[in-house]
A and B are shown apart, each in its own frame.
Chain A
Amino acid sequence: MSAATEIKTLIIDGKDVSARPDQTILDVARENGINIPTLCHLDGLSDVGACRLCLIEIKGQNRLLPACVARVEEGMEVTTTSERIARHRRTILELLFAERNHICAVCVANGNCELQALAQQLGLTHVRFPYRNPALAVDASHERFTCDHNRCILCTRCVRVCAEIEGAHVWDVEGRGADCKVITDLAQPWGDKNSSCTKCGKCVQVCPTGALYEKGKVGVEHPKRPDFLPYLNLMREAQ
């Protein structure tokens, strides 16, 4: 039997669903109208399981799994919402807020931010952890864009879109743990005269927060348009 005809059947939140074997639990859940929150996942990019917001429970396994990288299996019983999952998602969000300097009121992405929207959706009213308040510099050297590490959640969408779609691989990640940081080229200023940046702006459009943005834009006037990605992929496949 070919893969195209092989169908897996599983249960998500009590609902019987079917899937191709190459699909992730996140894909199948969304196909069936079951919402699982995500931040690092973006349709059109590879998945890395970085943000862990899509954690789900699978019957028979004690460990929570990220739905964006967990493949479907025959007979799986998946739960996407439970008290335990909600607690984990909330804690992850709180840690994201505590890690850097997310000041929504004066952020360029205010009202257009996926992190902010998710916090509102999950009813996050307080952060229980002490804020780290790191002193992070803004890279404003690029003629068109600005990178504010204070608002970066290390989802690596910029890294992936630049490498996988644009093919320039300007962005990467340096450091470990709390010292992790996205960098351009070999940690050179984004606007360096020898930069390999093509100025295409894809990284800006996929950034879920106000970390990457068009220079001079403020608040409500800066919605991101990451929906170009699936279309771009489709057009390329068609060629």
Chain B
Amino acid sequence: MTQTITIDPVTRLEGHGKITLYLDPRGEVNNAHFHVTQVRGFEKFSEGRPFYEMPALMARICGICPVSHLIASAKACESIMAVEIPHTAAQLRRMLNLAQMVQSHALSFFYLASPDLLLGMDSDPANRHLFGVAAAYPELGRAGIGLRRFGQHIIELLGDKRIHPGWVVPGGVTEPLSSVKRDEILAMLPEAYAGVHLALKSYKEITYRFEEEIAHFANFPSLFMGLINEDESVEFTDGALRLIDANGNIVADGITAHKFSELIGEAVEPYSYTKFAYYKPFGYPEGSYRGGPLARLNIAKSMGTPLADAELRQFKQLENGPVRSSFHYHYARLIDMLYGVEKIEHILNDPNILDKHIRATAGVNRLEGAGQAEAPRGTLMHNYKVDENGKITWANLVIATGQNNNAMNQGILQTARHFVRGGKMTDGILNRIEAVVRTFDPCLSCSTHAFGKMPLKIELLDSQGNFLDLAQRN
């Protein structure tokens, strides 16, 4: 008799997802699927809209990382306009993108993942949330909230709004940075540094407890993809994509947004609305790859900032070659944050940062454009086609979460196979299956809801769909 275990909804994720585990007659996990159960339709209903509306329109996809969509979309529009934006505008956008990365990573690490890490995978679910962390580790709780505020406040200072700032437009940004705002951001830096350092220190102190998880949380050889600068340092906003294999060999390099669609395909599986990105020359699913913090650090030779570089050297010691365990996404995320704070400081000290030339203007000069940027959880690519009047005729978005989709599915299967024995599920096992998904910090339907505790129901069904058992968390 076979069984199916359904985890619905998966908690402490951004958005709504469901996991199904298929057990064989011996109660061993045979297969696993991660379902993203909502369809959004942005690519379809943007058709007919003027292209310069796209950044604001597409940013509405997500309340966590609207900035990533703003930037990828604006870059796609600039490719249609055939313009290069002024240096200061590029720097300001880079800072905005990093501020968002810091706040999003703070959300992922402190709000969503740290309850598992600090309180334990098997700890009481009634307290396994941010408030439980804040009660047990008040300084860390404050650091998490402080880092999220740091990122959000920079976004608000630059774009007037914390969520969906309208400041990024095709051609650059609408307002230059004032010296008052620059000084306000500079004054926030010491607290941000302290928060990241505390998180790094605490994380390193507890990783030894998770050897089993490190060994089985989506720990497998795969391709990795991310943006990189010409000097092989990590990049979030410009640069080009590099793809490496599990041994660190370069598979493809210099992938600009225009080449993206030639090289990256999207497969569809019947059980999910999220597509499965893959490297076309290798086919699907062999060409599946991982993106996001782990991939970025595996690809980069340096961070380009001194403190983050010191951490990167430690990170590279974790494994011989690219780091394969997705558990280390957490560590990579913290290094990303440290880099973000350092880089923001660096950008603010750019002598031209207060320059007033921040926008290029042009009409339609190409009928197709593409733009890419690193969202907190991986590469984001926007590709548009327009008519001669600049109205969108076709749009395609390749979202970071889709690029980790295959790895998440494989990771769930690997984790479930290791921890689920004889069809038996405990809360701790259930939580580990969710936790492997959390390492990727997927953004499923892109909402700002960060629930520490959501109702969760697992039903055990036999092969005929007959109800066997129920585990419920309210």
Which residues of A line the B interface, CB within 8 A?
A: 105-106, 108, 110, 137-138, 140-141, 143, 146, 191, 215-216, 218-221
Interface size in chain B (residues, C-beta < 8 A): 21
CB-CB nearest in chain A for B387 = A140
Known A-B contacts A140-B389, A140-B391, A141-B389; the reply to A218 vs B52 at CB < 8 A is yes
For B390, the chain A residues whose CB sits under 8 A away are 140, 215
Known A-B contacts A106-B56, A106-B60, A218-B174; the reply to A138 vs B48 at CB < 8 A is yes
Q: How far is the CA of A99 from the CA of B441 in the complex (A)?
A: 41
Interface centre among A137, A219, A220 (most CB of B within 10 A): A219
- Which secondary structure dominates chain B's binding surface? loop
A216 touches B389 (CB 8 A): no
CB distance from A107 to the nearest CB of B (A): 9
Question: Considering the complex, which residues of chain B in the window 365-401 have a beta carbon less than 8 Å from any beta carbon of chain A?
Answer: 389-391
Q: How far is the CA of A161 from the CA of B187 in the complex (A)?
A: 51
CB-CB nearest in chain B for A189 = B389
For B174, the chain A residues whose CB sits under 8 A away are 218, 220-221
The 7 A-B residue pairs with the shortest CB-CB distance, nearest first, are: A219-B166, A140-B389, A106-B57, A216-B52, A106-B56, A141-B389, A140-B50
B391 touches A218 (CB 8 A): no
For B49, the chain A residues whose CB sits under 8 A away are 138
Question: Considering the complex, which residues of chain B in the window 27-84 have a beta carbon less than 8 Å from any beta carbon of chain A?
Answer: 48-50, 52-53, 55-57, 60
Is B169 interfacial (CB-CB < 8 Å)? yes
CB distance from A103 to the nearest CB of B (A): 9
The count of A-to-B residue pairs whose CB atoms sit within 8 angstroms is 44
For B105, the chain A residues whose CB sits under 8 A away are none
Known A-B contacts A105-B164, A140-B389, A140-B390; the reply to A215 vs B50 at CB < 8 A is yes
Proximity string of chain B (109-136) to chain A, C-beta cutoff 8 Å, 1 when within and 0 when not: 0000000000000000000000000000
Known A-B contacts A191-B389, A216-B170, A218-B169; the reply to A146 vs B50 at CB < 8 A is yes
For A140, the chain B residues whose CB sits under 8 A away are 50, 389-391
For B164, the chain A residues whose CB sits under 8 A away are 105
CB distance from A131 to the nearest CB of B (A): 14
Given contacts A218-B52, A219-B166, 13 further A-B contacts (CB under 8 A): A105-B56, A108-B53, A138-B49, A138-B50, A138-B391, A140-B50, A140-B390, A140-B391, A191-B389, A215-B52, A215-B363, A218-B169, A220-B160
For B179, the chain A residues whose CB sits under 8 A away are none
Which residues of B line the A interface, CB within 8 A?
A: 48-50, 52-53, 55-57, 60, 160, 164, 166, 169-171, 174, 361, 363, 389-391
B361 touches A216 (CB 8 A): yes
Known A-B contacts A105-B164, A106-B60; the reply to A137 vs B48 at CB < 8 A is yes
Q: How far is the CA of A108 from the CA of B166 in the complex (A)?
A: 10
CB-CB nearest in chain A for B52 = A216
Q: How far is the CA of A137 from the CA of B391 in the complex (A)?
A: 10
B60 touches A105 (CB 8 A): yes
Interface centre among A216, A219, A221 (most CB of B within 10 A): A216
Q: How far is the CA of A232 from the CA of B52 in the complex (A)?
A: 32
Known A-B contacts A106-B57, A140-B390; the reply to A218 vs B166 at CB < 8 A is yes
